[in-house]
Amino acid sequence: MRDPVTLLRRGVALVAVAGGLTLLGSPGPAYAAEERPLCGAYSKNAGGGSPQPAETEDAPVPTAAAPFAIMRIDEAQQVSGLGSGVKIAVVDSGASAKAQDYHGTVAAGLISQIAPKARLSDHPVLKVGQEKSTVEVAKLTGELNQLAKGNATRLIVDIGLPASQGSPAMEKAVDTLVKKGAIVVMASDWSEVTTADGPDVADSIFPSGADPVVTVSASGTWSSDPESAVLPNSNTDVAAPTYGAPSTTLFGKPCWVDTITTSFASAEVSGVLALIWSTNKSWKAEQVIDRLYRTASGQEGQGSRYWGAGVVNAFDAITRPLDKVPAKPPEVERAPMAQEKKDPLDGVRENAVWWGIGGGGALGLALVLRPLFSRRKTTL
């Protein structure tokens, strides 16, 4: 993963050049002028009371080119239900102040910024280590099973941290959730637990990212490049930019996302899905997912990456007119085939033909035999 400080320096250096971009977009959100620390400043929670205050700064990306502007979140919020009536299960490192790793709190913060009326639940699955953190397969399976046993009405399950090992029980839990009407969203990779020998990590993360799971990759902004931060996954369905998005880190502090991370992209997409679903509460999960895919920006085609339908567009997903299905033409009963009328003289004509053939044949035979009979008479 690229050094966040390097990304930050690139962003700051380009702000002066492209600062005018902020004048081209719609009015920025209230948080655009806020000063916040970077989310990575509080990446670990070692306990022992309140952390030392981190240095605050303005947003590392100009408003018009920031992730929420790219996805048109502010416009979508003005015409949506803001996630009302939607439940989102945050399956990550933990979304409370007791969490030891910041992934879960940042993910929950992103969801709350996008869909503030959605109801979140916390499902920590990360085992934090000194050198490497790992997703506990048994814990992940247990959390998914618990969710599968509950009410799945308008439920979105955001798996921000996939596992590097799977199990039949895990896949069964996902299948149960989908069959009960929930939407399961999953990050396309997580570099701390995922390794792959080949160019595609699709078979290296679990649960399986195949349909109908919504698999999300992280895309870049004008000042951030996902090339070295995101692993390609051919199961990817959509992508979302993360660098420069507003969120909340450990200890409840607001922060700016300073990494390109599929975990955070997955959370953003879960929030967008909540906007769509809260605006169309009668829709089934399949309809909500279909709208997300159909209104995405299209494949970006950067390098060897896999982008699925492209970067999500929350405003279009809510406001674009539904595709009109042409009315099925009425079935017209075919008329019965016309019956051929019987000719009353048909038999007479047929007999006349045969009598003609027979008479003609007899006449021809008589003409052939006439000379023979004439010679016999002369000889006698």
For the chain, the structural domain boundaries read: 36-43+55-319
Closest CA to 152 of 82, 87, 83, 85: 87
129 pLDDT more than 60? yes
Q: What mean pLDDT value characterizes the chain?
A: 78
Per residue in 31-73, pLDDT (tens digit) is: 656 889 899 888 887 665 567 778 888 888 888 889 999 999 9
**What's the CA gap between 183 and 318, in Å, rounded?**
17
- Residues 50, 2 contacting (CB under 8 angstroms): no
Angle 143-259-309 (CA atoms, 0-180°, nearest 5)?
A: 70
- Higher local confidence (pLDDT), 145 or 21: 145
Q: What is the pLDDT of residue 244?
A: 93
Q: Out of 54-63, 89-98, 268-277, 291-300, pick the least confident.
A: 291-300
Q: What are phi and psi of 134, to 5 degrees?
A: -135, 150
**What's the CA gap between 89 and 66, in Å, rounded?**
26
Q: What is the pLDDT of residue 232?
A: 84
Q: In sequence order, what DSSP letters do the residues of 302-324 get, joined into one string?
A: -TT---TTBB--HHHHHHSPPPP
Looking at domain 36-43+55-319, its CATH architecture is: 3-Layer(aba) Sandwich (3.40)
Q: What is the pTM of this model?
A: 0.76
Q: Where are the beta strands (DSSP E) in the chain?
A: 87-92, 119-124, 126-127, 134-135, 155-159, 183-187, 214-219, 238-241, 246-248, 254-256
**What's the CA gap between 312 and 202, in Å, rounded?**
21
Per residue in 165-192, pLDDT (tens digit) is: 889 999 999 999 999 999 999 999 876 6
The Cα diameter of the chain in Å comes to: 154
**What's the CA gap between 83 and 277, in Å, rounded?**
7
